[in-house]
Amino acid sequence: MDATDGLPILKLGVEDAIAGLALSTEAHWNQTEEDWRIFLRDGVVFGIRDGMRLVATAALLPYSGNNAWISMVLVSGTHRRRGLATRLVDTCLETARRNGLTSWLDATPDGAAVYGPLGFTPTLQLRRLKLVKPSRAETPPTSSATVDALRARDRRATGFDRSALLSAFAQRPGSRIVSANGAIALVRDGRTARHVGPLFANHAAAALALVDVIARSETGPLLVDAIASQAAFLEGLTASGWTIERPFQRMRFGPATAAGEELPFAVAGPEFG
Ligand SMILES: CC(C)(COP(=O)(O)OP(=O)(O)OC[C@H]1O[C@@H](n2cnc3c(N)ncnc32)[C@H](O)[C@@H]1OP(=O)(O)O)[C@@H](O)C(=O)NCCC(=O)NCCS
């Protein structure tokens, strides 16, 4: 038996945002302290401390229609392969079960190795792409759209009502909602790169045109989490300098609930779906 086997699972509070950020930063993830505050304030975050130090987390963020997103499954490099992630995800699942929620997540390849044995089944695939930008923008910011338009489109596509989440993103300094030719996307700050998504469009050409307009008005690196089956979108991005960083596998635990009417081109992020 390892010394960490008996460490209790705790419910974390907003005061743990900085400690959570240290874990996501150790994993080279893009979340900000503000992102952690969303999980700690609007969801439930379970954690394990070794002494004073937070060494593992997992979050459950409830969405509408008896759905919840599991994310921020992080174990410090010093504490891996001791079953901590399994225990924390089990605790999230137990919480979801007690509340009658279907759980969803977007898994890294390492994460998928943990979730498969727990009973998660794969649904769609995502690809994270990165664009390294020159430091000078070529064009001024593009026309903005309302958060109401984004919320309505997001609801149609995902089947979830994520008004609170999208409003919180939109209110942050540096966020903008951009729209053209029937396509709409949110751009927000991240720790190491600005994130483009969710992004909805009627066809790949409109999605690509919007990403191009965004990229030409931005000054730093950009990330997009694209739905892998949007093949023309992915091809267009890689042809214009975006590189694929890593895959994510969307997985579900429980009955299918959310029936989206359209497929997004890019999601809000693997931690939010
Ligand atoms: C993925 C991660 C959370 C796993 O945490 P962990 O506490 O080490 O996981 P567990 O000890 O509960 O692993 C349970 C099982 O999952 C599998 N597994 C876990 N990590 C694995 C890896 N890197 N490669 C292959 N299998 C792995 C193994 O079958 C393991 O059982 P075993 O150790 O008896 O062989 C951790 O490696 C991590 O924080 N990685 C970086 C962030 C990340 O990718 N998070 C997942 C987001 S979806």
Question: For the chain, which residues make up each domain, given as ranges?
Answer: 10-123, 127-253
Nearest to 126 by CA among 19, 233, 38, 201: 233
Is the distance from the beta carbon of residue 55 to the nearest atom of ligand 1 less than 6 Å?
Answer: no
CA-proximal residue: ligand 1, atom 9 (nearest): 85
pLDDT at 136: 73
Task: Say how many Å lie between the CA of residue 74 and the centre of ligand 1.
Answer: 9
Distance set, CA 24 to CA 20, 47, 55, 173 (Å):
6, 13, 11, 22
163-183: burial string, b at 16+ Cβ within 10 Å, e else? bebbebbbeeeebbbbbbeeb
CB 120 within 8 A of CB 73: no
**Fold designation for 127-253:** Aminopeptidase (3.40.630)
Helix axes 109-118, 84-98, angle to 10 degrees: 60
Q: Which residue has the tokens 């790949």?
A: 204
pTM of the model: 0.95
Burial (CB < 10 A; 0-12, 13-18, 19+), residue 113, is exposed
For atom 4 of ligand 1, the residue with the nearest CA is 85
- Asked if the model's pLDDT at residue 1 lies above 70, the reply is no
Domain 10-123: assigned CATH number: 3.40.630.30
pLDDT of 144 strictly over 90: no
Q: 178 C-alpha to center of ligand 1: Å? A: 37
Residue 224, beta-bridge partner list: 129, 196
Q: Is the CB of 84 under 6 A from ligand 1?
A: yes
Nearest-5° angle of CA 183, CA 185, CA 188?
A: 165
Beta-sheet pairing, 102-107 with 67-75: parallel
Give the number of the atom of ligand 1 that is nearest the alpha carbon of residue 80.
Answer: 8
User: Alpha helices of 4-123 — where are they, by DSSP H?
Assistant: 17-26, 33-42, 84-98, 109-118
What does the pLDDT look like over 65-83, one tens digit per residue?
Answer: 999 999 999 999 999 999 9
Quick: pLDDT tens for 147-169.
999 999 999 999 999 999 999 99
pLDDT at 3: 56
Q: Is the CB of 88 under 6 A from ligand 1?
A: no
**Residue 182 CB partners (closer than 8 Å, separation 6+):** 201, 202, 206
Residue 177: its pLDDT value, please?
96
Tell me the backbone φ, ψ of residue 19, rounded to 5 degrees. Answer: -65, -40
10-123 and 127-253 have identical folds: yes
